[in-house]
Amino acid sequence: MKPIQIGLLGLGTVGSGVFHVLTRNQAEIQRRAGRGIALTVAARRDLAAARAIVGDAVRLVTDPMAVARDPAIEIVVECIGGTGIARDAVMAAIDSGKHVVTANKALLALHGNEIFAAAHAKGVMVAFEAAVAGGIPIIKALREGLTANRIEWVAGIVNGTTNFILTEMREKGLPFATVLAEAQRLGYAEADPAFDIDGIDAGHKTAIMSAIAFGVPVQFDRAHVEGIRQLEAIDIRYAEKLGYRIKLLGITRRRPDGIELRVHPTLVPMKRLIASVEGAMNAVLVQGDAVGTTLYYGKGAGAEPTASAVVADLVDVTRLATADPDHRVPHLAFQPGALSDLPVLPIAEARTAFYLRLAVADEAGVLAAITGVLAQHGISIDGMLQRESAEGERQTDIVILTHVTREGAMRAAMTELQALPTVVAPIVSLRKEELA
């Protein structure tokens, strides 16, 4: 059978990884796909740099649209990134009747609903395993492997940069700014790291997982997103003393009245496997009603881990290219006409436990006042730690772990706590998840 013809948009880190994996494992890939997968044309502005990667094996052009509309190309692989030309090229490829494979989480988080609708109308596939957690096959697990389950929640470390920073802060006791500078020197963080450290990247990925887990449209615009920029080393140390580690988690949970969709630093019990995921590694926990808890772990970025997922998508699309479109796996796991309108809940309605650190005057009655305010708002205490004051010191830290409560109740309680005359600094609050 004639090899299926592939066009590649972008020959940067991921694109070059796709070329190398396809070339190196060509025979094995063909055995799995049932026919050859031939990369015949690629687009990159810098033709000299592209030629240094692919040699004479691939025809090179500078215009992504030329690849997207090339009548000889059957699958377009988008590795440009961003949401500008990448969106235009993907939509042009779909309009030309081509299947699309993409590693672009921002594109799908912001424009996925439009892209999937266009693909469905044209009877073509959009595959995106590499868009979430790099080489970890979490999309396939959610969309196919766990299809018998009613998914209850998903929680994941899906940004390696922030996980590296949090690991270094914990192991070395260094402040955030120092570790960020080291991460940039080592190449883990970009010169402008905001996309990672402010939680946006994790938010994009969590929004995609939420859509597949619960059969709803992609709704990144409704996600609550916090990063790690304000996190202090002292809170990492206190968390350790209480038996927890702090991770930047993307969490989405089904509730009777809607869906929680949030990204933020989170205390996780040390006894959970995900708490031991260190460095730049990724991990995702999924809770299903039939299977229980499953964990997916591996490299979430890098040329070849991401290329592994891209090429796996290419094999899947190649196998199904001639299948009846109505019998393919739906983009978001559920049939397009069966997507739910279950709303994303505002963060004030989220239900979680909390870590509170209060700097207080070291005098009688302080703790009673604090617990009294929490009790008035129906918030019960799960654990507590008080730093022993040095001789002559007039203030101390009180750290409180609460049981699960409504976020709105905690915010109201914190407003009252902050107004107490014995609370002498801004209260630090972090969410806590048992992930049981």
> Is the distance from CB of 71 to CB of 171 less than 8 angstroms?
no
Q: For residue 134, is it left (φ>0), alpha (ψ between -120 and 50) or beta?
A: left
Active site (annotated) includes residue 98: no
Helix axes 105-122, 200-214, angle to 10 degrees: 30
What residues form DSSP beta bridges with 253?
153, 260
Which tokens go with 311? 């090429």
Q: How far apart are CA 304 and CA 9, in angstroms?
A: 17
3 state DSSP class of 358: strand
Q: How far apart are CA 111 and CA 119, in angstroms?
A: 12
Backbone angles phi, psi at 101, to 5 degrees: -120, 130
Tally Cβ neighbours within 10 Å of residue 292. Answer: 10
Report the candidate in 303, 305, 301, 295 with the shortest Cα–Cα distance to residue 280.
301
Q: How far apart are CA 142 and CA 135, in angstroms?
A: 15
Q: How far apart are CA 15 and CA 48, in angstroms?
A: 15
Report the candidate in 174, 139, 177, 133 with the shortest Cα–Cα distance to residue 156.
133
> What are the residues whose beta carbons fall under 8 Å from the beta carbon of 327, sequence distance 6 or more?
none
Residue written as tokens 């070059």?
16
3 state DSSP class of 382: strand
Query: CA 110, 116, 119: angle at the middle one, nearest 5?
Result: 135
Report the candidate in 296, 302, 317 with the shortest Cα–Cα distance to residue 209.
296
> Is the distance from CB of 379 to CB of 409 less than 8 angstroms?
yes
**Burial of residue 262 (number of CB atoms within 10 Å: 0-12, 13-18, 19+):** buried
Catalytic residue among 205, 247, 299, 432: 205
Report the candidate in 419, 317, 324 with the shortest Cα–Cα distance to residue 370.
419
Catalytic residue positions, numbered: 205
